[in-house]
Amino acid sequence: QVQLVESGGGLVQPGGSLRLSCAASGSFFSPYAMAWYRQAPGNERELVATISSGGRTNYADSVKGRFTISRDNAKSTVYLQMNSLKPEDTAVYYCYVKILMEYWGQGTQVTVSS
């Protein structure tokens, strides 16, 4: 059974920072790529960042230079460090992994507002 549990969301002012965490259950973690997605009200879910099993990363153009994805295989946890946050970053952020089928976390709300 694969379970993903996100944490770290909240309300932050523009220009601020947050770090999201995604704790994964099970022994599957290290060989698999992980990803963060987000979904704002009225919008489709969009890919934010990915990290391979070896640590190679990719980012959406909208977050390049501001967000950093990382992973700690010993803790089965993936992180998303978000700096210089903008109001348009407001969304529910989801952790994702595909192991034969897709698995999603429950999401964590990030609100960027003054």
Closest of 22, 104, 16 to residue 69, by C-alpha:
22
pLDDT over threshold 80, residue 26: no
Asked if 48 and 93 count as a contact pair (C-beta separation under 8 A), the reply is yes
Cβ-proximal residues to 60 (8 Å cutoff; 6+ apart), any chain: 46, 47, 48, 49
Looking at per-residue pLDDT, the higher value among 26 and 41 belongs to: 41
Coil, strand, or helix at residue 75?
A: helix
Closest CA to 32 of 2, 53, 11: 53
- Quote the percentage of the chain above a pLDDT of 90: 84
Percent of the chain with pLDDT over 70: 99
Tell me the CB-side half-sphere exposure of residue 78, using CA atoms within 13 A: 32
pLDDT digits (tens, 9 = 90+) for 72-106: 988 999 999 999 999 999 999 999 998 888 999 99
